[in-house]
Structure 1
Amino acid sequence: MLVMKLPKEQKEQLTARIQHYFELERSETIGSIAAEQLLEFVIQEIGPHLYNHAINDARKAVLERMQTLEDELYALEKPIIAKR
């Protein structure tokens, strides 16, 4: 399985956001280690579902674009007049 590695700066920002969420929504204080562990859990358990959803969205977008390109190519075709 693909392990997602976040850049250090992004990981720190997300950890801080988790801590902020716990303060605001749950009136709890959690340390940076607990917040980082929660982040790792979410990435491991929920990340693949979100990733697969994003891949499916990208697949749909590419297929729609390919259909548009195919339609545009058909529109460029020149009529062929059969000579008798």
Structure 2
Amino acid sequence: MTIEISKEARKEAIASIERYFLENMEEKIGNIAAGALLGYFLEEIGPLVYNQAVADVQERLQVRVSELDIEHHEDEFQYWRKFDRQKKGK
């Protein structure tokens, strides 16, 4: 699965890579090289991050689903119990 980002996000990511190289590597990286590096990271490392995010969401959803019966439980056959309680209260 190829991870796609918007043109605007790609533009900002390339600018960020260029700045990172300038400030931390003390050398300049060109726009094309920064774009190629971004493409490499998206293809090579992006799926790792994506899969971890999916696993995290799946875990959270499983916890929420397991709590559904607690949060939304209704006792069955309550009509006559309610009726009997009203009778006793009179």
Higher relative contact order (CA 8 A, sep 6+): 2
Measured against the shorter chain, the TM-score band is 0.7 to 0.9
Moved more, 29-38 or 61-70: 61-70
Question: Which residues of structure 2 form unaligned runs of 5+?
Answer: 82-90
Structure 1 residue 64: Cα displacement:
1.0
Tell me how far 1:73 sits from its aligned partner: 2.9
Structure 1 distance, partners of 2:39, 2:45, is 10
Q: Quick one: percent identity of the two aligned structures? A: 32
> Does the 8 Å CA contact 2:14/2:34 hold for their aligned counterparts?
yes
Measured in 2, the distance between the counterparts of 1:52 and 1:70 equals 29
- Is 1:41 aligned to residue 33 of structure 2? no
Consecutive unaligned residues in structure 1, runs of 5 or more: none
Is residue 2:86 matched to residue 1:65?
Answer: no
2:75 and 2:22 map into 1 onto residues whose CA distance is: 63
RMSD over equivalenced CA pairs, Å: 1.6
Number of corresponding residues: 79
- Quick check: 1:11 aligned with 2:5? no
Q: TM-score, normalization: structure 1?
A: 0.84
